[in-house]
Amino acid sequence: EKHSPHNGYYAGDTIGDHDHALSYIMEYYPQLLPSFRGLEEGEKMSVQFTQCKLAFNHGWFVQAEAPPGAIFTKFREVLIRDHKSQISQQDVALYFVHWLTDLAGAEPTPLAGCEKFVTKFPLPVLNSFLRSFEFVERIATNTETEVLEEYLKVRWVENIPPLGPVPHGESAVAKMRLLCMAQMNATAVLRDFEHLSVEDMETLNVEMSRTGCVGQSFSIDLVPKE
Span 114-157, pLDDT tens digits: 777 777 777 878 888 889 999 998 988 899 999 999 999 999 99
SS3 6: strand
Q: Which residues contact 128 (CB under 8 A, 6 or more apart)?
A: 62, 63, 183
Task: Give mean pLDDT, residues 62-66.
Answer: 95
DSSP string, 13-63: -----HHHHHHHHHHH-GGG-HHHHTS-HHHHHHHHHTT------HHHHHT
SS3 188: helix
Residue 189, by phi and psi: left (phi above 0), alpha (psi -120 to 50) or beta? alpha
Helix (H) or strand (E) holding 130: helix 123-136
pTM exceeds 0.85, yes or no: no
DSSP string, 192-207: HHTTS-HHHHHHHHHH
* 55 pLDDT tier (thresholds 50, 70, 90): confident
Please check the confidence at residue 82 and state whether its pLDDT lies above 80: no
Span 24-51, pLDDT tens digits: 888 888 999 999 999 998 898 888 888 7
Q: What is the average pLDDT score of the chain?
A: 87
Task: Give CA–CA dist 39/107, Å, rounded.
Answer: 30
Whole-number pLDDT of residue 216? 96
Top pLDDT among 53 and 176 is at 176
Whole-number pLDDT of residue 84? 61
Please check the confidence at residue 80 and state whether its pLDDT lies above 80: no
Span 91-125, pLDDT tens digits: 888 888 888 888 777 776 766 667 777 777 778 78
